Structure 1
Amino acid sequence: MMGLHNQTIKVFDIGIKAYTSAREIKVGEGPIVSLAKWNDVTVSAVKSGQITVWHSDETKEINALKSGEFLSRMRQDHQSPNMIATGGKENDLQLWDLNKPEEPIFKAKNIKPDMVQLRVPVWVSDMTFLKEPNCIALATRHCHVRMYDHKRQRRPVVNFEWEESPFTSITSVADKSQVVVGTAHGRMGCFDLRMNKPEHPVRIFKSFAGAVRDIVVHPHLPLVFSVALDRFLRVHHLETGKLIHKEYLKSRLNCVLVRDDFEEGDLLPTRGKPKRKWMERKMEMEEEMGYDSSEESCEKVRKIEDDEVW
């Protein structure tokens, strides 16, 4: 299921490799920012703050933007699918129960003013539910990572900054108190929220050249999947931080989805083969041209190589 910029929801069947349904929601203003599925219910959220619960026979609408400028993200708790979290610009974290969508069950409270007594601006960019019950972590465009315990207090129990780059995405690590966050400047790091100094990254993942748009940690394998605006899909090893796979996908990427039954052997090798094919092609060119060590023959081969590269 995917949400398009023109407020259209499409369903793609992987088995038959075709779209099976499409629906225009026409709710509120702005593009779809998030989608969720709960039993036979579809939940959509648009930038203007309207969250719509689509039943087969009725529709319920939630206004998640009673204050603020716009909605940035909605996330679903996979352990309790009836729970969703929302947040945006000047719209702090809220938790909603789809069984009772009239009012949020939790509203976060902003942190205290800074050292010069100025209000800290709110701009939630992404959030993720943690394995600990009642705990949720979020990232902000103002370089904050926060963890909330919504049964304990309204202010965050953990709050820290990392570098001077807006956070764009955050995801949790299964069976650990760790999160992986990505920034708008192409940085991605793993943090342990239960450490004495959580602002120190456990490890940093490298090789980015654009803003990190989405991150997925595999639920069973130590693999981190990420996509960025430099049009690459990357797979890093969670424990070592080593880049395992890198694939150019031709378009600016926003989201990544990973199957639960994915195996590391499913990754296609990208290194080594292109070089062997190029060497074979070079040998064929030399045979066709009757290559020798003269300067004229070397110049002809060099010209053909440049033409093929470009």
Structure 2
Amino acid sequence: MTAEPIRRFGPAASVAPHYRGGVVAIGNFDGIHRGHQAVLEAAKALAAEKRVPALCLTFEPHPRSVFQPDRPVPRLTPPPVKARLLEALGFDAVVEHPFDRAFASLSAEDFVQEILVDCLGATHVVVGFDFQYGARRGGNAQTLHAEGARHGFGVTAIEAFADEGGGPVSSSRIREDLGRGDVAAAAALLGYRWMVEATVIGGQKLGRQLGYPTANMALPENGLLAHGIYAVRFRRPGGDLLDGVASYGRRPTFDNGAALFETYLFDFVGDLYGETCDVSVFARLRGEEKFDGVEALIRQMDKDAAEARAFLSGAAPLSPLDRLIAF
């Protein structure tokens, strides 16, 4: 990790002078998956070599959510989670530049001049091979090379990244895996266990009545994660890691109400209300079920807890990034 917590800036014009003149990785980077990491690691290595800050320039909200507001993109990594991952990768700052129709109308040349040169003073820019920028996607990696030569900054375009089977690594593919509950397949593409971040809220205390008190979180009901039972690792704001088993769904045995992410933490006693915590999802144990009664549900919960304990006790990091955030 960086020596200091990562700095988060909004508009590029708000970037503090200390962070100007760095190496800038540009992209939406939703998910920070292995393909994104190839771009980010290249930028970080160049920044270390040049002894300048490593910055990530990204955009909020996701451009598709601006152009198709009726079809907003389910975010794999909302801005706070993305910043956490970038910090773990060693970045000094992330620029979450506002994306709206006015910004989208900026010409490719003006994007380079106003954002990369005037605001960031970039010494080198790193992008993916298919990077496009400016109004009507008028700029690409090739034009960026020419702009860099004109303005005095270097440009590196990273080739496409494929998984071990030769398939593309993409955010949309990861969303599909999570929607099926295949968190192992999603983790293989991400290079780390996917995680959620939310504030612990009060519930109906049904779990406490069953002998399984839970930390409850309300997640965006966008279909990103399939309902079911999961083995998880829970991180408190201070960094404490706790193993547990989580139920995500509508509690069909009881009220079939609004979806909640409810985590039973092993060997923990305490109050978590109001804490904003991260949960890394390690494995899906089963789908959500409706039981005939409370006793049948408790018997299954006992089995789920034992299976989750066994799985987590044998889990190993998938990568250095996974080790930093989930171990």
Normalised TM-score (structure 2)? 0.23
Normalised TM-score (structure 1)? 0.24
Structure number having the greater strand percentage: 1
| Structure exhibiting the larger radius of gyration computed from Cα positions | 1
Structure number having the greater helix percentage: 2
